[in-house]
Structure 1
């Protein structure tokens, strides 16, 4: 039931934000974690649903960028892709070496730089493989955490978009999991034989995002309805009501 729930929320996101069209060849960035691996699996299922019920022919391509972190074996992922008729590419990179050169004074890695480099590497390979779209497994919790991070550390109300066109790379970037919560992903992954490759990144679990995740979990425990309401808040344009300064009106 959990996988069906994920697929239902994917379809809603697809219809609400026009994420996928007939003829799309979509690259899926794979880290090996539960989110990206379930996205890969669900996209393989969704391509069949789209063809059968929506008359949309979609191709998917799994792309893993070898970050350079030690002891990460993706042979199980390669086997899984072969068994599920998923095109898969394992690409070398020097990202870890670059991150170590640009590390903070205390030796910790800069997650923001890592994210940009990884995203850029996936998109670069996607273009080489004639993909017109790239999908990452950012989910509803990621979007809510991003909103709160921007509010607390940047003084602005903003989160990432379900779909955006990246002008510099001429690539459409989509997030099919924007309506899916991490708790649903955890339940769904247990129903499957999808392999998980544990990250050996030294920053795993030691970020501001992790702090925000823990803060929000405490809010959800105290106010259970807040979880779905926070997701609604991200696209509730009709009830957006913020201050407008006179100087902003005159500009």
Structure 2
């Protein structure tokens, strides 16, 4: 006779099933991004920038999992920049990383005092803080012999940056999943580029990461990025799937139907040429098709980093 399943057991089983689905989905998204943009290659030494927030914890955790099954060899070194913010718990990350058994390095630089001294009270500190942090991390990457620098920016960060540049910078520009630094010496990758922030929040809770809040910039009210984030979240609530559609647009750019004369030779356009990127839609009704999912599991190369 079968033993009846209690409500508690049923809930636990469902929770475990959902956790497994979430983990697999994030792993696939990261694997897809790595493969699509050739982010990690044989012999790479990846410096994973760990801030103590949910995104960078998830990035390191997922990369460690992929490392075990990948058909190529690459190494990971976690790096945290202790910016000497008041009350920053300096023991949390070293303890966490030591328990993981991962190679790591903690860099202590008092950028907090510099930012507070230079930026007037009430003004946004993010720009200066970011520049200082970037310069330090590039230096550390050289010291560690890192071939790639992995950052924890996700899909929502990329979309927010797109709208920030449009609204406040007059540029059609986002965060690329992969880029070379201005001096050409460092390669930056964003393996979480396809991951939704809501999934990462759930994953952080599931894995019980010891989250460290950013009290330097995260507590500032009325930031432009926060306003844009709220705008996108409101759209997503009213029109589910809109964020995914917008991200798909970043992967389907039609230069001939924008207005950048440096990107497309409008001045040299002549009669008789074949229309590019969708042709002449000036007098035709636009027909919009649902975007394809950003997950391309069915077409993933056999020799993928996922190793699945």
TM-score between both structures, scaled by the size of structure 2: 0.74
Residue 249 of structure 1 is aligned with which of 227, 250, 266? 266
> How much does 1:141 deviate?
0.2
> How much does 1:107 deviate?
4.4
Distance of 2:123 and 2:165 partners within structure 1: 22
> How much does 1:5 deviate?
1.2
Distance of 2:186 and 2:248 partners within structure 1: 28
Structure 1: runs of 5 or more not aligned = none
Report if aligned partners of 1:123, 1:169 keep a CA contact under 8 Å in 2.
no
> How much does 1:31 deviate?
1.1
Q: Deviations over 1:144-178 (max 9, x none)?
A: 00111111112221111111111426111000000
SS, match of residue 249 in structure 1: coil
Distance of 1:168 and 1:121 partners within structure 2: 15
Matched, 1:48 2:59: no
The equivalent residue for 2:53 is 33
The equivalent residue for 1:4 is 24
SS, match of residue 139 in structure 2: helix
C-alpha change, 1:244 and 1:21, in structure 2 (3 Å) is closer
Report if aligned partners of 2:55, 2:200 keep a CA contact under 8 Å in 1.
yes
> How much does 1:200 deviate?
2.0
Q: Deviations over 1:67-92 (max 9, x none)?
A: 12111114232222222221111111
SS, match of residue 266 in structure 2: helix
Q: Deviations over 1:191-212 (max 9, x none)?
A: 2132211222255353211111
Distance of 2:182 and 2:261 partners within structure 1: 31
C-alpha change, 1:49 and 1:243, in structure 2 (3 Å) is same
C-alpha change, 1:202 and 1:234, in structure 2 (3 Å) is closer
> How much does 1:118 deviate?
1.0
The equivalent residue for 1:174 is 189
How many pairs are equivalent?
A: 246
C-alpha change, 1:189 and 1:250, in structure 2 (3 Å) is same
Cα-Cα RMSD: 2.2
Q: Which of 202-211 and 171-180 deviates more?
A: 202-211
Distance of 2:130 and 2:62 partners within structure 1: 23
The equivalent residue for 2:178 is 163
C-alpha change, 1:134 and 1:244, in structure 2 (3 Å) is closer
Q: Which of 162-171 and 238-247 deviates more?
A: 238-247
Equivalent positions of 1:1-251 (< 5 A) are 1-50=21-70, 55-104=71-120, 106-168=121-183, 170-204=185-219, 206=221, 207-237=223-253, 241-243=257-259, 249-250=266-267
Question: Higher helix fraction: Structure 1 or Structure 2?
Answer: 1
Report if aligned partners of 2:82, 2:90 keep a CA contact under 8 Å in 1.
no
Report if aligned partners of 1:3, 1:191 keep a CA contact under 8 Å in 2.
no
> How much does 1:21 deviate?
0.5
> How much does 1:98 deviate?
1.4
TM-score between both structures, scaled by the size of structure 1: 0.90
Structure 2: runs of 5 or more not aligned = 1-20, 269-308
